[in-house]
Amino acid sequence: MADETWIPPPLPATWLRRLVEAMTDDAGEDGQRTLNELDASLDQLSKGALRPEDCRAFWHEKQPVLSRYFELVASVIESFGPPDPSAVAEEWKRMTDRSFRDEGVRGALRGAYERLTEFDAPLAGPTGPEIRAAIESLHGTVSPLREVLLRRSDLFVAMLLGRHIPAEKVSAYRSLLVDLSNGYDQARGECLTSLYLSLGRWKGGGARPAERAIWGLFGSSAIRYVLDRARPETDLDRLDAISELLIKRWPESAGATLAALGEALSTAVDAQLELLIVRALRWVDPSALAPRIERALFERLLLAAMSGDDADVREAAARALVAWLGAEAAEPLRVRLSVEPDDDVREALLELFASVASESAA
């Protein structure tokens, strides 16, 4: 066989930085699926004779898949913060400071970021040794991704620079992709846990809001994670902070919020989560919901919450309904008033009813 290697085209060097940053990314299930597709294809390929034309055909076939994977990562990086590099660097520093307690780890991550930002211009600057040095500068971190990169750095460098990958290393290349995926999944979980636990911290030297960091790093999947994790939550400061997160990230969080509210209402054991969501809904703009069906579903859920077992949830639902419907809330309020058993809730309902009635009259 004249040529036993295949030659993927070079990838922009910015992708390296994005991939390293992807240890805290939002690729999640989509990224895993893409890597699984690549894995299956490489497996198939490695069983046959690796002729150059096969390799090129494989690349042409799979290149869109690989691009999609990197695009997925890139979309998260773009939501990371403003395009100003210094602001992104600052955000990176804050994120690492918050996520890793050990100062050595934090220093290594900051150093790695500084090295990687030097590779901004696609293909202009990076060389194999530089990339290897950047990966090695992650040494000492707890990132499982770093372990993967170091262990397979020769393949990774070849992949990024478009160098020949010998046929006998195709299976190693395949497992590199899988390991990368597993690595950042682990790191992602670690960071999300750390950020969740810091939500609502209001005292002590380290007090600062984590909401922006959570959203910036993990996008809408962070909302799903936070809502799932909040089910058994008892810390009131943390619950308030989660409520604030839903308000600030509305309407991007609407889908996850809708699903969580529906589940909380149907299971009837999540009054705390139900109250958290219903209270948040009072402060969001319902018109920002694009599909009308979502708005209608939320209204139905609020009406259901207004008839629930928990008095605080009923009052919160009534307030949210008034915020959403204005004068149109008069009728459901009137109906609820006729059966409401709790004195405090009745008083609140009367007050709300009077306010919407006067609004209607005006």
Cα–Cα dist 38/178, whole Å: 9
Q: Which of residues 201-240 bind another protein (CB under 8 A)?
A: 201-204, 207, 234-238, 240
244 is a contact residue toward another protein (CB under 8 A): yes
Cα–Cα dist 158/145, whole Å: 18
344 is a contact residue toward another protein (CB under 8 A): yes
Q: By C-beta, is 43 or 347 nearer to another protein?
A: 347
Residue from 168, 228, 351, 359 that binds another protein (CB under 8 A)? 351
Q: By C-beta, is 108 or 313 nearer to another protein?
A: 313
ω into 251 cis (within 30 of 0): yes
312 is a contact residue toward another protein (CB under 8 A): yes
Q: Which of residues 86-105 bind another protein (CB under 8 A)?
A: none
283 is a contact residue toward another protein (CB under 8 A): yes
Q: Tell the smallest beta-carbon distance from residue 347 to another protein (Å).
A: 7
CB contact at 8 A, 17 and 139: no
Q: By C-beta, is 63 or 193 nearer to another protein?
A: 193
Q: What is the CA radius of gyration of the chain?
A: 26
Q: Tell the smallest beta-carbon distance from residue 267 to another protein (Å).
A: 18
Single out the segment in contact with another protein by CB under 8 A; choices: 52-60, 163-171, 313-321, 327-335. Answer: 313-321
Residue from 72, 315, 318, 321 that binds another protein (CB under 8 A)? 315
The residue among 148, 129, 125 whose CA lies nearest residue 138 is 148
59 is a contact residue toward another protein (CB under 8 A): no
Q: Tell the smallest beta-carbon distance from residue 192 to another protein (Å).
A: 13
Contacts 24+ apart (CB under 8 A), 153-162: 156/131, 157/128, 157/131, 157/132, 159/8, 159/11, 160/10, 160/11, 160/13, 160/15, 160/16, 160/126, 160/131, 161/10, 161/126, 161/127, 161/128, 161/131, 162/7, 162/8, 162/9, 162/10, 162/11
350 is a contact residue toward another protein (CB under 8 A): no
Q: Tell the smallest beta-carbon distance from residue 355 to another protein (Å).
A: 11
Residue with tokens 């009837």: 268
Residue from 193, 267, 358, 360 that binds another protein (CB under 8 A)? 193
CB contact at 8 A, 31 and 81: no
341 is a contact residue toward another protein (CB under 8 A): no
By CB under 8 A, name the binding residues for another protein: 193-194, 197-198, 200-204, 207, 234-238, 240, 243-244, 247, 279, 283, 312, 315-316, 319, 344, 347-348, 351
